[in-house]
Amino acid sequence: MLIEADIFSRLPNLSTPRLTLRPARMSDAHDMYEYSRDPEVARHVLWDAHSSIHQTRWYLRSLLKQYRAGQPSSFVIELTGEQKVIGTIGLMWMQRDNRSAEVGYSLSRAYWNRGLMTEALEEVLRFCFDTLCLNRVEAQHETDNPASGAVMRHVGMRREGLIRQRFYNKGRYVDVELYSILRDDYEKRSAKGGRE
């Protein structure tokens, strides 16, 4: 029987052609602060741009605490060749009874528009369906961040609808687009070699 707490307390390293997705370490603080302080990176996520490396270290400590507790959490995204952390991706929550979860991600602006987040999300979906045995994975993005929706579509997620004023973020209520992929969708896509 799958014990999720065991998996989340010892997150595996996942590999793609250009990336390593791995558990965070305190030594990632400088790389993470480099992109987390950018207001453009923080614009569409629910955290504010980091004002100091102390804030980044606090975030890393919270990730390590989640690992110790065996709770769903995030991987750091590391450029394999450079061993540089350029973002995070992982589960915001997971419901065991419904075999469902939500994935979220952020990426350094210096690495936008290179297909890296699509590559990372493909691998996290593989982890969700093949290792965690989920039936549904969802994600959402603010409507004025269409690039994030493009990433979701590239990996076979389908738009389910608009959720009006879903969050209060950065001083305003924001509408979000909800996407999902089901196990059936994932298996059909995998059988076609990752194509729709």
Q: Which whole number is the average pLDDT over 50-55? A: 96
> What whole-number distance in Å separates Cα of residue 137 and Cα of residue 70?
19
Q: SS3 of 86, please?
A: strand
Q: Does domain 4-191 have CATH number 3.20.20.80?
A: no
% of the chain exceeding 90 in pLDDT: 88
pLDDT greater than 90 at residue 195: no
pLDDT recorded at residue 46: 85
pLDDT greater than 50 at residue 190: yes
For the record, the structure tokens of 40 come out as 């453009």
Model confidence pLDDT, tens digit, residues 105-157: 999 999 999 999 999 999 999 999 999 999 999 999 999 999 999 999 999 99
- Spell out the domain ranges in the chain: 4-191
pLDDT greater than 90 at residue 192: no
If 0-12 CB within 10 Å is exposed, 13-18 middle and 19+ buried, where does residue 2 land?
A: exposed
What value does the mean pLDDT of the chain take? Answer: 94
| pTM of structure | 0.93
pLDDT recorded at residue 1: 39
pLDDT greater than 70 at residue 85: yes
Residue from 93, 82, 121, 125 nearest 105 by CA = 121
pLDDT recorded at residue 87: 97
Q: Which of 3-7, 44-48, 51-55 has the highest mean pLDDT?
A: 51-55
Output the 3-class SS for 156-188: CCEEEEEEEEEEEECCEEEEEEEEEEEHHHHHH
pLDDT greater than 90 at residue 3: no
In terms of phi and psi (left: phi > 0; alpha: psi -120 to 50; beta: otherwise), the region of 157 is beta
